[in-house]
Amino acid sequence: MTDVEKPINFIQQVINADLSAGRVKKVITRFPPEPNGYLHIGHAKSICVNFGLAEQYGGICNLRFDDTNPEKEDEEFVQAIIEDVEWLGYDLGEGPCYASNYFEQLYIWAKYLITQGKAYVCELNAEQMREYRGTLTEVGKNSPFRDRTAVESLSLLEDMRLGLIDEGAMTLRAKIDMASPNINLRDPVLYRIKKMAHQRTGDKWNIYPSYDFAHGQEDAIEGVTHSVCTLEFAANRPLYEWFTTNLPLPSIPRQYEFGRLNLNYTITSKRKLKQLVDQGHVDGWSDPRMPTISGLRRRGVSAAAIRNFCNSLAVAKTDGTVDMAQFEHFIRDDLNVNAGRAMCVFKPFLITLSNYSEQEQFNVPCHPNREELGQRTLDFGRQIYIDRSDFSEDTTLSRKKFKRLVIGEYVRLRSAYIIRADEIIKDAAGEIIEVIASLVPDTVGQDAPEGIRPRGVIHWVSKHTSADCTVNVYDRLFTVASPDEGDRDMLDYLNPDSLVEMTGCKVEAGLVDAIAGDHYQFEREGYFTRDSGDLDNLVFNCTIGLRDNWKA
């Protein structure tokens, strides 16, 4: 299918129509996270949609922080979000925007609504407000302060701003319709009192706008043409449009909703992710088991794999849940092409070659199918390590069942010689601690001599030049596909084997200076990257195994 023939999604159809009719001259979108946590894989889809649309149409996408709630927000989250968006490969242009940049203008518009008889200061407390709001089946009732004069509301709002009113004592509410079937239109709160410093505006404000009041007006200030968000905001669109209709805005944005990305065997609720962090079930927001973008990056998932995955998903008007295996397919597909090869022995087992005393170096490709990635050097000597699981003293094992080293038989060492196991050495407890083997000469890169049939190919490292390292093997964080479905407590389904730390591993010498973010396929084990969270030690994180172990 050519690019011309590819079907376009409903948002692209809207944009095409707007451009053709001249309603829009330049496409401007936005990605508006609240800085109260780290971004996760669900946000990645929204990033790809919004920045992708801007790129496709030669427009602009603003990264805008909806920083209207200093109680939950932090500069740490701001910087983490900026890093994530840039790491995914998107240009921030002149830099991020902030709701806090518009606090003065939002306050002016709040006073305008009061003067137009469309907002009032209310003295109902939170519990009373819930009672007056009604339910999905019962209409609400008017606040006793709904008919307060504009002059009095303006005076009280200024007192709120100056910090002269206690928290919780008053709010500013829009005057819309307490009988509306859409609860969002039942006189929503525009401002609430919070006597706390803001990370960007300091102590200037004692009141902060609600997300619903700020969001559409921020879009209007920035000239956003297509405000694209996920479906949970569909019920908020009538309120969004009420504000754009009743305020003297510099432009009129339109909101469109698409289905959010839900991924099984994980959670994408920032509140629940925060619970995992705060209760110590994971090692922070960037724990490689977390579905956060920073966690995926630390685990070794590439930006390209995330973008390819997100771009493969439909931009539709319905929510859906994607199988984790689909995401893992894109991770493996990317790493198979781009990860250099290396050897690491998880459980070192000593092999001594009785008929060999030299020191050699072999130059081998970093990738079997990509010459441009160059070559790496392997040291080879009289003693090497193989993995303990690659040797058995059970000589009755069939070749089909055990394609590794057995006494009296041969294996090929990856990119090196064929060897034969000749003798076992045990310690006082009867444990095998070493195998004496013999090397078959002239078998590097050559076919096996006649009469010699290796059982298989195994990986190895030099005893004298390999480096000690720790390997973290990760698995899915939860044992069930929907850990927070219904009344489930997600903590009941945490996977106790989601992290297995293996110390005393041995990696080939060339990886001593491995860079965090570089990718390696440890032959026969999986894909790995150096841990960016522990650069003082040589630690490798398992990005993903070579095969899906969760298949039914």
Tokens standing for residue 158:
């200024």
CA angle, 513 then 519 then 521, to 5°: 105
Give CA–CA dist 428/526, Å, rounded: 35
Please report how many Cα atoms fall inside a 13 Å half-sphere around the Cα of residue 64, on the Cβ side. Answer: 29
Residues 6+ apart with CB under 8 A from 393: 406, 407, 424, 432
Clarify whether 270 is annotated catalytic.
Answer: yes
Please report how many Cα atoms fall inside a 13 Å half-sphere around the Cα of residue 260, on the Cβ side. Answer: 16
34, 123, 167, 241: the catalytic one is: 34
Tokens standing for residue 31:
């990605």
The closest of 319, 315, 232 to 12, measured between CA atoms, is: 315
439, burial (CB in 10 Å: exposed 0-12, middle 13-18, buried 19+): buried
The answer to whether the beta carbons of residues 186 and 180 sit under 8 Å apart is yes
Residues 6+ apart with CB under 8 A from 6: none
- Hey, what amino acid is at 349? F
- Hey, what amino acid is at 326? Q
Clarify whether 530 is annotated catalytic.
Answer: no
Q: Report DSSP state, residue 373.
A: G
What HEC string does 10-65 produce?
HHHHHHHHHHHHCCCCCCEEEECCCCCCCCEHHHHHHHHHHHHHHHHCCCEEEEEE
141, 148, 260, 317: the catalytic one is: 260
Strand 405-406 versus strand 391-392 pairing type: parallel
- Hey, what amino acid is at 432? I
N-terminal to C-terminal alpha carbon distance within the chain: 33
Q: At what angle do helices 211-222 and 237-246 cross, to 10 degrees?
A: 60
The closest of 545, 518, 538, 537 to 529, measured between CA atoms, is: 518
The answer to whether the beta carbons of residues 190 and 184 sit under 8 Å apart is no
Tokens standing for residue 296:
């995926």
Tokens standing for residue 202:
């300091």
270, 298, 341, 506: the catalytic one is: 270
Please report how many Cα atoms fall inside a 13 Å half-sphere around the Cα of residue 39, on the Cβ side. Answer: 28
In Å, how far are 25, 40, 48, 293 from 43, measured between CA atoms? 28, 5, 9, 9
Clarify whether 34 is annotated catalytic.
Answer: yes
Q: Which residues are designated catalytic?
A: 34, 260, 270
